[in-house]
Amino acid sequence: RIARRIDRPVVLVGMMGVGKTTVGRKLAAMLDVPFVDADEEIERAAQMPIPEIFAAYGEPHFRSGERRVIARLLGHENPDAPRKRKVLATGGGAFVDPDTRALILDKAISVWLDSDIDTLVERVGRKDNRPLLRGGNPREILTRLREERRPFYQQAAIHITSGNQPHTVTAGRILKAID
């Protein structure tokens, strides 16, 4: 087992379907640090699934909850309390929010995971838990969002393009890049 000396959280950003959660879990195991999924923490805090948060309160409300949860996970209020060594997967829109992005850039090693649209479309097709894809053509929505979000994702410290290679391979490439 490789235990590299990362001293800041590693935060994965990028589009829905790119594999942030699965890759994040594998990377955390390789680094021997805890893995945290921001979407899961938001659902826990709100005691509600994400599609219901969107439906009941709208996206701006979701974004402010997301901002608070990520701030807590990155130890914004109390820098000493949360463990610094961790891998955090964020929802696809988190890094687009100016405050959340500034916080991540300040506190963490940010990693943008990207892949081609075909891979994203195939991967989001496996689950129906993404409010932003409801009632539309997933390929069109993903293509548009990816273009809109690119200028923000590009601000991440590390860029990894994954295609549809196995998630373990992607995790290994991140490991090399942050080392």
Q: Of 126 and 176, which has the nearer Cβ to ligand S3P?
A: 126
21 in a labelled binding site? yes
Burial (CB count within 10 angstroms: exposed 0-12, middle 13-18, buried 19+), residue 155: middle
- Distance of closest approach, residue 66 Cβ to ligand S3P, in angstroms: 7
Q: Which amino acid is at 127?
A: K
- Distance of closest approach, residue 111 Cβ to ligand S3P, in angstroms: 14
Q: Of 6 and 23, which has the nearer Cβ to ligand S3P?
A: 23
Read off the tokens for 176. 């090399």
Euclidean distance between CA atoms 7 and 116, whole angstroms? 31
* CB-CB contact of 110 with 95 (8 Å): yes
Contacting residues toward ligand S3P, per CB under 6 A: 16, 20, 39, 50, 91-93, 130-132
Question: Distance from first CA to last CA of the chain, Å, rounded?
Answer: 15
- Distance of closest approach, residue 177 Cβ to ligand S3P, in angstroms: 20
Strand order through the sheet with 10-13: 35-37, 87-89, 10-13, 109-114, 158-161
93 in a labelled binding site? no
Q: Of 101 and 130, which has the nearer Cβ to ligand S3P?
A: 130
Question: Residues at the annotated binding site for ATP?
Answer: 17-22, 130
Question: Residues at the annotated binding site?
Answer: 17-22, 39, 63, 92, 130, 149
Question: Residues at the annotated binding site for Mg(2+)?
Answer: 21
